[in-house]
Structure 1
Amino acid sequence: MRQRFQFDPVDAVAHLRATDPVMATLTKRVGPFALKLTPSHSLFEALLRSIVYQQLHGKAAATIHGRVLAQLRQHGGPIPEALIRVSDEALRTAGLSRAKLLAVRDLSAKCLAGTVPSLKDAGRLTDAELEERLTEVRGIGPWTVHMLLIFTLGRADVMPTGDFAIRLAFKQLYRKRIDPSPAVILRHARCWQPYRSVASWYLWRHLDTP
């Protein structure tokens, strides 16, 4: 399923440029907003990937994720019902740690119980409501939910203050002598609303754009 932004990126960038001189300079240096949403057929599929990728990078994470999906495909595909049919031994052999095995089991249970909504139902929930429900899943914290909201659901106004790169970029761009607290970032980010997701993307790009 192809996700779409819940906002107009052109309007978002225009708003950031009009309300914040530093952001205006940054958006011109980085260029057009070019975030690519990660397609997903369900929140189960998206969160499963998030759990597998935790504390791993690149090839290792992709390999383990591929092995887990291969196990699920033998039992109906990337759906919670399929995960129930896969043995612990098969998932451990695929590369899941004990903690991640417990997390994906809990994810499956929470999906079947309705705590984790369908994509359609998620569209009717606010960011805060989704965060409250999804963080009930073992191993899923606010940062993971914020990444899901931005990169999978295309929500407009997410401010992931728990992200180290966001804090570092903010410190550099706004010339802070000490590491900014979430409260400091949120206070400044009021001028970015309702497009804090777009501002966040530009903060990330600041760190890898000369």
Structure 2
Amino acid sequence: MWKEIIATAGPYHFDRVLDRLSIDPVNFLHLEEKFVKVPLVIEEMPYVIRVKAVGSTADPLFEVSGNDEKVKEQAIKEVKRIFQFDFPLQTLSLHFEKTNIAEIFQQHAGTPLVLEFDLYRCLIKCIIHQQLNLAFAHTLTERFVTNFGYQVEDVWFYPKPETVAALKYDDLRALQFSGRKAEYVIDTSRLIAEGTLNLAELKMMSDEEIMKKLIKVRGIGPWTVQNLLLAGLGRPNLFPKADIGVQKAIQKHFKLEKKPTSEEMDEYSLQWAPYLSYATLYFWRSIE
């Protein structure tokens, strides 16, 4: 068993991190004891890493622990990436206090952009969530993971691409997937399993290159790519204008009679660059 204390610049509101993670029933966390168990796949082996808040919002400290000493360095690197411990959130406050959404950033100060635990998980989750209400999307995702994934230390891991690639469409239809969604999830997994689609390469590509590459895959549209860039890769300047939640939040904040047009969203968002991803997150928070 190993433990490491990690410090990050305040404010960092870990309670809000846990609150958002708790929306997904697949995640293993404890709100009162302030920890989450993170499923990581390192060199094709599964490991469970516990991240527990031991400091405060103003002075954030985290105890990161695991069972296997040999992956400690890689695990800590991944935890820092996922929880964005190296990004000073005070930078956001200084930037957004001069913008037309300063009030939202004051209300949700210290809320970080926390990433999905790995890219395959993020992509499949995005495909499952396409054009569904959030509650049913999480229900489908939970069924998918608990039927075809696996557990380590009571923590659920998404199934491997090879496992999903070997499924039949009817296997997912039995879980109430639509025929099309079953095809998208399995066919995309087959591309990944056979090496035609290499997710690891995406980290080295620009946002535009990733969009051009993934949009060619059947079942992956701009909304899915933008969410992968934001929640999977942590790109800081993503603004998914087609996202219903973002549209509703902008409508609410600016007191519009109807949902904003694409042109209106472009105009409002001019002040938010180069942190459009954080504007997106804080808009989501403002209506949750």
TM > 0.5 fold call: yes
CA contact (8 A) 1:49 1:65 kept: no
Bigger drift between 129-138 and 52-61 goes to 52-61
Residue 51 of structure 1: aligned partner: 127
Mapped pair 1:196 → 2:285: no
1:78–1:125 distance in 2 versus 1, CA, 3 Å:
same
In structure 1, which of residues 127, 146, 149 is the aligned counterpart of residue 226 of structure 2? 146
Residue 180 of structure 2: aligned partner: 99
For 2:88 and 2:218, how far apart are their aligned partners in 1? 34
For 1:60 and 1:104, how far apart are their aligned partners in 2? 12
In structure 1, which of residues 164, 179, 182 is the aligned counterpart of residue 259 of structure 2? 179
For 1:38 and 1:60, how far apart are their aligned partners in 2? 17
In structure 2, which of residues 166, 191, 214 is the aligned counterpart of residue 110 of structure 1? 191
For 2:254 and 2:194, how far apart are their aligned partners in 1? 45
1:106–1:36 distance in 2 versus 1, CA, 3 Å:
same
For 2:281 and 2:236, how far apart are their aligned partners in 1? 11
Correspondence list, 1:47-86, <5 A: 47-54=123-130, 55=132, 56-69=136-149, 78-86=159-167
Q: Which has the higher strand share?
A: 2
For 1:154 and 1:108, how far apart are their aligned partners in 2? 22
SS across alignment from 1:123:
helix
* Structure 2, gaps ≥5 residues long: 1-39, 41-77, 151-157
TM-score (norm 1): 0.78
Larger relative contact order (CA 8 Å, sep ≥ 6): 1
For 1:164 and 1:96, how far apart are their aligned partners in 2? 21
For 1:30 and 1:90, how far apart are their aligned partners in 2? 41
1:27–1:66 distance in 2 versus 1, CA, 3 Å:
same
Q: Deviations over 1:102-131 (max 9, x none)?
A: 112320243256563323x21211122212
SS across alignment from 1:36:
coil
Residue 197 of structure 1 deviates from its aligned partner by 0.5
Name the Cα RMSD after superposition.
2.6
1:29–1:94 distance in 2 versus 1, CA, 3 Å:
closer
For 2:193 and 2:141, how far apart are their aligned partners in 1? 26
CA contact (8 A) 2:191 2:197 kept: yes
SS across alignment from 2:204:
coil
Identity of aligned residues (%): 25
* Structure 1, gaps ≥5 residues long: 71-76
For 1:12 and 1:116, how far apart are their aligned partners in 2? 34
Number of aligned positions between the proteins: 197
1:116–1:178 distance in 2 versus 1, CA, 3 Å:
same
Mapped pair 1:30 → 2:111: no
Residue 157 of structure 1 deviates from its aligned partner by 0.2
